[in-house]
Amino acid sequence: MGLRSSRLVVFGLACLLCVSQAIAQDEVTFIEVALDEETRRADDKLRRYLGREANLMFVQERPLEYSVVIDRLADWDPDRGDFLARVTPYAFVAAEMLGAELEVFASYLSRATGSTTYHSYFVVGREQFPYGPELVNLVEHLRNLDDPASFIYHNKFSTSSYFLPALFFRSYGIYNMPERTEYHTAIHSRKLGDSSSNLVRAVARGEFELAAVWDGTKTKFEVTDSLYERYGSRVHFIQLPTVLPNDLLVGSASMDSASRARIREAIQSMGPEGIDEGDFLTWIDINRAPDTRQALADLRWLARERPAPVTVGLRTPPDEGSRVPEEYLEAARQAVRLSGTEFVNYDDDFHQHQDYVWTLESIHDGAIEFTSRIAGSAIDDQKFQISFKDTEDLTRRIGALLHSRVHRIRYVWPYRTELPTVIRDVGFSIPRDATVKVRRIDWQDAQRNLFLQDAEFDAQVGLSDFFRFELYPNFIPADEGGFGFNPMSNISYRVILVRPERERPVFRVLTVVFIALLVLTAVAAFADVAKKRALPSQSDPRLTPPSGPGGSISQS
């Protein structure tokens, strides 16, 4: 074979090898939360690195807003293939809450912190605080202001600039509302710009009183001379104690094991400055970053939706013949206490409103009728007949009803206003297009269950799965003047989750038919008895044949 032929063979084999490698490459969609240009360049380096080292072929998309990324991860169709996403920590947790099935591959090493974790910091002007304030000083300052302070943020899915501050404010009774109440402190929250750097500048200029940022922004205004002189020297940074995980590299849980192994191997092989762009030095395998795993677990725990306490008032009918002994009411109170649910016994000296009113009415010894009414709602009362052996047995049976039969109250998740969503944590489903009752609640004192409420209205269930109930139409108004619906607000939307009837329609029909047959049988039996009574009796002397001589019937 000549030299030219050998070269052609080698070239052909090389082409075949390239084609086979291209065919073997896995096509993966790369999703990223839109932040700043430095982060965009860091994402581009990461994508090209994984494409080369993990043999992945990426479908590139434009960076997306936080909320869009969350919905995209939660609603991802596996038929579209696999994805990798660089997401901020709360966006990741929020997507999980909505049902996204994700695998965490890595977290990045920060230039600002030298770690895969960071902190959040409140930003306040030095004119308000000539001294270095602590968190307790900030709370006291906000409570003593004549007019509510203004808090600015750049996105409500930002972990450091919004989510963590919102939790902090709520824990101290500080809400976004027009004016203070007897129990709550008012602030005015407002979205400003699209970066945390703009927040620092606005506070330093005295345009707003309060903001929150992360280590990267704080460091930028402390070590950059021009930024420090103009802005950083005019503000204080007050650290919040919660440790947060850096941004995460996550993938679809349906990704095959071979691809996952190649991604992890590529991450582990990345050098100490494998990215070296903006705050991103390199990426660290999540299994080799225990502090990050712990911080992520803590964030999941903080972010979970906790059912708001629901107060239960107990009573017995005024009719003496229907009243139950006090020990039965005490058994019901113990059922509430021991149920491990959101239900709490109404305390007349503490609470201001009863959410449920339960009536216990005597039927006979060892049996009561239990009526559950949701105060102020058009939902029909629920009635249950309970037979029991003793008061302890009554407590168990009422507790079982709480878990299996009684309607529940939940609130719309405040982070998703485009599609009003209830995070599901109940053991029953609600069918699509079912009607639920919704009511706007303006909290005056959440702990004491004191609130103002609007009229109840209907909404329909548009999506129902293991993680959420989505409602329509979109009844949550836009944020007008800073007092619309948002996670810092004292405004909530209460939803009554009505349990589906346990009986199927066919069984109800059969029950009606059975009862009708019983009625017909009874009517027929009654008619038969009446007919027999109407017939003359054989012992009636009027029916006795005439007798012959001697008093006997003559015989021929």
Per-residue pLDDT tens for 370-395?
999 999 999 999 999 999 999 999 99
3-state secondary structure 382-434: EEEEEECCCHHHHHHHHHHHHHHCCCEEEECCCCCCCCCEEECCCCCCCCCCC
Same domain, 353 and 420: no
What is the block-wise mean pLDDT of the chain (556 residues), using blocks of 10 residues?
A: 48 44 66 92 96 93 90 92 95 95 97 97 94 95 95 93 95 92 92 92 96 96 94 96 97 94 97 95 97 97 90 91 91 96 96 96 93 95 96 96 95 87 94 95 92 95 95 77 70 94 55 64 69 56 46 37
User: What pLDDT, on the 0 to 100 scale, is given for residue 520?
Assistant: 76
pLDDT of residue 69: 94
Query: What pLDDT was estimated at residue 416?
Result: 84
pLDDT of residue 475: 84
Q: What are the DSSP calls for 11-45, one per residue?
A: HHHHHHHHHHHHHHSEEEEEEEB---HHHHHHHHH
Reference 87, options 99, 70, 101, 74; nearest CA is: 70
Range of the domain at 228: 120-242
The domain that holds 327 is classified in CATH as 3.30.160
pLDDT value of position 322: 84
Same domain, 340 and 420: no
47 and 191 housed in the same domain: no
Q: What is the pLDDT of residue 19?
A: 39
CATH for 31:
3.40.190.10
Q: Do 234 and 176 share a structural domain?
A: yes
Residue 13 has which token pair?
Answer: 């084999």
Number of domains in the chain: 4
Give a yes or no: residue 544 inside a domain.
Answer: no
Model pLDDT, residue 220: 94
Residue 548 lies in a domain: no
